[in-house]
Amino acid sequence: MTKKTTLDLSWDEFDELRDPRPARQQFDEVVDRAISRRGFLGVLAVGSGAAVFGSALLGATSARAQAAAFKFEPVAAGTGFEIQVPKGYAWKPLVRWGDALVTEAKDSFSAETGVSLAMSDKVFGENTDGMELFEVAGKQVIAVNSEYVNPEINLPVEAEGTPRTAEEVQLLKNMQGVTVMEVADTGAGYGIVLDSPYNRRITNDTPMTLGGPVAGTDFVKTAADPDGRAVLGTLNNCGSGRTLWGTYLTCEENFNGYFGMTAEREQTPAEKRYGLKGESQYAYEKFDARFDLITNPNEPNRFGWVVEINPADPKSTPVKHTALGRFKHENAEMAQAKDGRIVVYLGDDERGEFIYRYVSNGTWAEGQPTEGLLSDGTLYVARFNDDMSGEWLALTPETTGMTLPELLVHARLAGTKVGATTMDRPEWIAAHPAKCEAYCALTNNSKRGGEAMPTNAANPREANEFGQIVRWRPEGEDHGADKFAWDLYVMAGNPNVHKDAFAGSPNVNAGNMFNSPDGMAFDSEGMLWIQTDGEDSNEGNFAGMGNNQMLVGNPETGEIARFLTAPNGAEVTGLCWSADKKVAFVGIQHPGGSWPDGNGKPRSSVIAVWREDMSTIG
Ligand code: FEO
Ligand code: CA
Ligand code: CA
């Protein structure tokens, strides 16, 4: 088998290969257990008002429901190197890897050699991911992550995918992080407003402030920053979020892959839990001592946080909010408790890791100061009980026996101490805009099962290749409540290949099959958009699913319909809408072939999708 690189895999998948979890110990009646769970879904569908979720999964009784209540005609599975959107819709790239933010960099991208070091902080980064659109002084400003780079694409062929000089490291550092850019419809569709004062690149080296309880503690002090309050850069920015006060939240995910060791030593237990190893993916440690665990063992403690960026102020310094915990953050979904406290739902994307919730001590209402709202509060971790109840377990010095800074830096260890439920890789969390409920995509978990990671009701299938979406409804319709009820909105699967639990829940059918749900966002009409990052071989267990895709789910009926398919090789990740909701902006990450240009290197891009009749799209 040929060696898999980040050209073949998403960064998530690559990190899994580098850092495998303990092997499954035994096969454990997977079919029986999961089928009984499907039975539970069926019960909910049949129940009237008595069931916890009432009308959940309607149409899921006997026949597998076909989507009916959508404004679009679902598209077929895609297998080629193109984008498919429904009849009556159109698309075009908004911005591609290497497109200019300023006039100086205009047309500087080369189909053969990519982006030059000189232009690398003046153009759109690679591998687009989470994004949000903000209205700032009448302008539309998008903040969007560049999760990682493909060194094979960015570096000269002779480098064979490993940087050889400090300059090559610098190029890779500059192609990642965050892009803030003004966009506008100039009459020929949406594009970047070149030279807008809002346009900004934030990279692996941009100065940031560390805020919250960990700032200034020994965990984060380094030789270069003896105060432990000033960090350079943000790493592996995956999902995103937005605050109620109009700032951007970018989430540091697989930061571990950027650190290495220039000499040998034993890893600490915390380093092991966080996947920190002897050699990095990008060889940063050979050219920048910050990334060498031998000389700077605390530097990784300065990553793995949620970072707040003000898109309205290009001179502002991003802040890393340590109160929200350190782990492999997917996204940050903000909601509000009934009493006005700020709630942030957070997933830790690794097999067997947890779902978290942060609750501020202070309250907020429109126009009030935001100081302290993301630095003074309590972090909780979720337990999903088999009886479909659940609770948020507070992580405090009393519950964990750890100091507050320690339990935030090593949140995974704290979560284990209080008995959190191991999940099938928590990806994006989306809170319903009109109802008090939240959804989390559990993308897949090949290692689920056996003693090391036994199945549980919310993660009921061993060797789970397909994934599921769990949702919870807080007690008293209050995101601030410590108890909730939960169910599974969908279990992905393949009903053509399987007749057991791997067929998926009844709202999965031959016309909407998918695997590995990842990105998720609600639109203004309360529909749930689901993006996938999974197996796109279209063979075996995945036959009929085709390429990665974006679907729309109706939370009331459980129906799901396929809206868009990506080019082969790509995942679909990142979604936001124009201010008038007539255009959806969709991220296409790590495409294959020469997409979208048709020649030269493949270019990760954000595309604009609209209805040809220019009515709203969400
Ligand atoms: Fe970068 Fe878990 O997705
Ligand atoms: Ca993701
Ligand atoms: Ca993923």
Does the CB atom of residue 536 touch ligand 1 within 6 A?
A: no
Does the CB atom of residue 330 touch ligand 1 within 6 A?
A: yes
Q: Could you give the CA distance from residue 246 to residue 602 in angstroms, rounded to a whole number?
A: 33
Contacts for 31 with CB less than 8 Å, ≥ 6 apart = 500, 501, 502
- Please state whether 398 falls in left (phi above 0), alpha (psi between -120 and 50) or beta: alpha
pLDDT over threshold 60, residue 41: no
Does the CB atom of residue 253 touch ligand 1 within 6 A?
A: yes
| Dist. CA 465 → ligand 3 center (Å) | 12
Place of tokens 């599921």: 468
Q: Which atom of ligand 1 is nearest the CA belonging to 427?
A: 2
pLDDT of residue 9: 82
pLDDT in tens, 248-283: 999 999 999 999 999 999 999 999 999 999 889 899
| Per-residue tokens: 369 | 């100061």
Q: Could you give the CA distance from residue 433 to residue 333 in angstroms, rounded to a whole number?
A: 11
pLDDT of residue 31: 35
Contacts for 2 with CB less than 8 Å, ≥ 6 apart = none
Nearest-CA residue for ligand 1 atom 1 is 238
Given pLDDT bands bounded at 50, 70 and 90, which one contains residue 245?
very high
Does the CB atom of residue 353 touch ligand 1 within 6 A?
A: no
Q: Could you give the CA distance from residue 221 to residue 201 in angstroms, rounded to a whole number?
A: 26
Does the CB atom of residue 12 touch ligand 1 within 6 A?
A: yes
Rg (CA), the chain: 23
Which ligand neighbours the alpha carbon of 443 most closely? 3
| Dist. CA 528 → ligand 2 center (Å) | 16
Average pLDDT, stretch 563-581?
Answer: 98
Average pLDDT, stretch 352-372?
Answer: 98
Query: From start to end of 533-603, where are the E strands?
Result: 549-553, 560-565, 571-577, 583-589
Q: Which atom of ligand 1 is nearest the CA belonging to 10?
A: 1
In DSSP terms, 485 is beta-bridged to 389, 473
| Per-residue tokens: 127 | 């591998």
Cβ proximity of 282 and 217 under 8 Å: no
| Dist. CA 521 → ligand 1 center (Å) | 15
| Dist. CA 68 → ligand 2 center (Å) | 28
Does the CB atom of residue 427 touch ligand 1 within 6 A?
A: yes
| Dist. CA 81 → ligand 1 center (Å) | 23
Q: Which atom of ligand 1 is nearest the CA belonging to 236?
A: 1
| Dist. CA 415 → ligand 3 center (Å) | 22
Q: Could you give the CA distance from residue 464 to residue 11 in angstroms, rounded to a whole number?
A: 19
Q: Which atom of ligand 1 is nearest the CA belonging to 330?
A: 2
pLDDT of residue 33: 41
**Residue/partner pairs of 316-319 with CB below 8 Å, 24 or more apart:** 317/207, 317/208, 317/209, 318/202, 318/206, 318/208, 318/209, 318/234, 318/250, 319/208, 319/209, 319/210, 319/211, 319/374
Does the CB atom of residue 348 touch ligand 1 within 6 A?
A: no
Given pLDDT bands bounded at 50, 70 and 90, which one contains residue 56?
very low
Does the CB atom of residue 288 touch ligand 1 within 6 A?
A: no
Average pLDDT, stretch 113-138?
Answer: 98
| Dist. CA 112 → ligand 3 center (Å) | 29
Does the CB atom of residue 333 touch ligand 1 within 6 A?
A: no
Sign, Cα dihedral of 535, 538, 543, 544: positive
Given pLDDT bands bounded at 50, 70 and 90, which one contains residue 349?
very high
pLDDT over threshold 90, residue 347: yes
Q: Tell me: domain 6-611, CATH 1.10.10.10, correct?
A: no
| Dist. CA 533 → ligand 3 center (Å) | 5
Given pLDDT bands bounded at 50, 70 and 90, which one contains residue 498?
very high
Does the CB atom of residue 349 touch ligand 1 within 6 A?
A: yes
| Dist. CA 402 → ligand 2 center (Å) | 30
SS (H, E, C) 295-334: CCCCHHHHCCCEEEECCCCCCCCCEEEHHHCCCCEEEEEE
pLDDT in tens, 174-227: 999 999 999 999 889 999 999 999 999 999 999 999 999 999 999 999 999 999
Spell 451-481 as b/e; 16+ CB within 10 A means b.
ebbebbbbbbbbbbbbbbbbbbbbbeebbbb
Can you give the pTM of this predicted structure?
A: 0.92
Contacts for 160 with CB less than 8 Å, ≥ 6 apart = 152
Does the CB atom of residue 424 touch ligand 1 within 6 A?
A: no
Q: Which atom of ligand 1 is nearest the CA belonging to 347?
A: 2
In DSSP terms, 561 is beta-bridged to 552
